[in-house]
Amino acid sequence: MMRSFRDRDQLITPEGFIFTVIGNVHPQDRVLAYLKYIPDEIGKWGHAQTRYRRALQHYNVPSIMESIEYLRAKAPQYLFESRVHGFTLSAVPTDRIIEHVRPEERLAQLEKREGIDELEKKAAALADLISENAHVPIDSLGVTGSVLVGIHSPAFSDIDLVIYGLDNAHRVKSFLQTIEVSSAGQIRRLAGISKERWIAERIATTPLKRQDALNLLARKWNLGLFDGTEFSVHAVHTEPEIRERYGDEYCTSLGIVEGTAKVTDDLEALFMPAVYGVDPSDLRGVPTLSKVDQIVSYEGLYADIAKRGEAVVCRGKIEKAESVSTIRYRIVVGSLEAQGTDYLLPLPR
């Protein structure tokens, strides 16, 4: 099957905008993506004489909303009235893509170890270590973030990797969980300044309290330090794993709710969006909609933080999803309507 647009790919437009792709399901004529970097002659990121600043200051909904307002004022051609989602979001028309940058191809370049800097060497070394110890092919890994488009700085940038495929993702998760428990060798859990910075940013940009952030961080197997450099690993589906097509369902918002639920399925919780199956009979605090059977998070913070059998508390948008054959309901975390006030947390046992 032909390689399509995947989550965390990057797109470059004629204006020099750099967008990051969201998910693997897109309309035929455009790609859902958020604006990540904007050309700026005094920006911190860049290469040669071309400099950039971040359009997205934080990985949260309020920052996404700010980037949408920027596009509305400066480049409305990248806004899309999505009938499927029921709101305006950012998307890149396929005829405005001058370069589609793929993480696995960039990592293959770094694997040659030719003319690369210290951060790029670390990214390649981390990918090699994961590939060997998790027993996944090196070509199932890729590098994203600022390193993907070569605008990083070894002085302050981190390493963002992707792992393609459900089985590969679970192998990498098992390996990193084992390493992080031991906190030995080149890979360690976030600690010291890195840990405190992560916690402080979550407290400042989400409804979470410090203990909530600490509890979540303890479950984030995909974050850590590699030889002192912060890194993250993100699971991304391959094309054969995607059964959904854009337009299969049309969604309608029914308002913001708070409630608790029991998780019945966590298989898709590693990906973007993170999908948790829940038991409708164990849903509490939510208006009577007997078919609410999912909690879906578009906020990566809440990916893979609850296991099957655990109870969770959440605040999010209820939406009705209609297809030609069914109507179902789900709670969405990370919606524009909630404006950053929503969350998903495991309840203490």
Transcribe 283-301 into DSSP letters: -BSS-S-TTEEEEEE-SGG
**Tens-place pLDDT, residues 60-78:** 777 888 999 999 999 999 9
Q: Is the pLDDT of residue 297 over 70?
A: yes
Q: Range with the lowest mean pLDDT among 38-42, 153-157, 281-285?
A: 281-285
Q: What is the DSSP letter of 156?
A: T
123: tokens are: 């990214």
Per-residue pLDDT band at 123 (split at 50, 70, 90): very high
Per-residue pLDDT band at 312 (split at 50, 70, 90): very high
Average pLDDT over residues 12-22: 97
Q: Is the pLDDT of residue 248 over 80?
A: yes
Architecture of domain 251-346: Beta Barrel (2.40)
**Tens-place pLDDT, residues 151-186:** 999 999 999 999 999 999 999 999 999 876 655 578
Q: Where are the domains of the chain?
A: 10-101, 103-239, 251-346
96: tokens are: 């405005």
- Residue percentage of the chain with pLDDT more than 90: 79
Higher pLDDT, 290 or 200: 200
Q: Mean pLDDT of all residues in the chain?
A: 93
Average pLDDT over residues 304-320: 95
Residue-wise DSSP of 158-207: -EEEEEESHHHHHHHHHHHHHHHHHT-TTEE---HHHHHHHHHHHHHHSS
Dist. CA 256–CA 160, nearest whole Å: 33
The pLDDT value given to residue 290: 58
The pLDDT value given to residue 26: 96
Per-residue pLDDT band at 289 (split at 50, 70, 90): low
Q: Is the pLDDT of residue 56 over 80?
A: no
Q: Is the pLDDT of residue 270 over 90?
A: yes
Number of H helices, E strands in the chain: 6, 19
Dist. CA 6–CA 234, nearest whole Å: 12
The pLDDT value given to residue 62: 76
The pLDDT value given to residue 182: 59
The pLDDT value given to residue 184: 56
On whether the CB atoms of residues 341 and 315 are closer than 8 A, the answer is yes
Rg (CA), the chain: 20
Cis amide leading into 273 (omega within 30): yes
Rounded to the nearest 10 degrees, how much is the dihedral formed by the CA atoms of 165, 169, 172, 178? -160
On whether the CB atoms of residues 264 and 277 are closer than 8 A, the answer is yes
Q: How far is CA 209 from the centre of its chain?
A: 22
Residue-wise DSSP of 74-85: H-GGGEEEETTT
Dist. CA 238–CA 64, nearest whole Å: 26
Dist. CA 191–CA 247, nearest whole Å: 43
The pLDDT value given to residue 157: 97
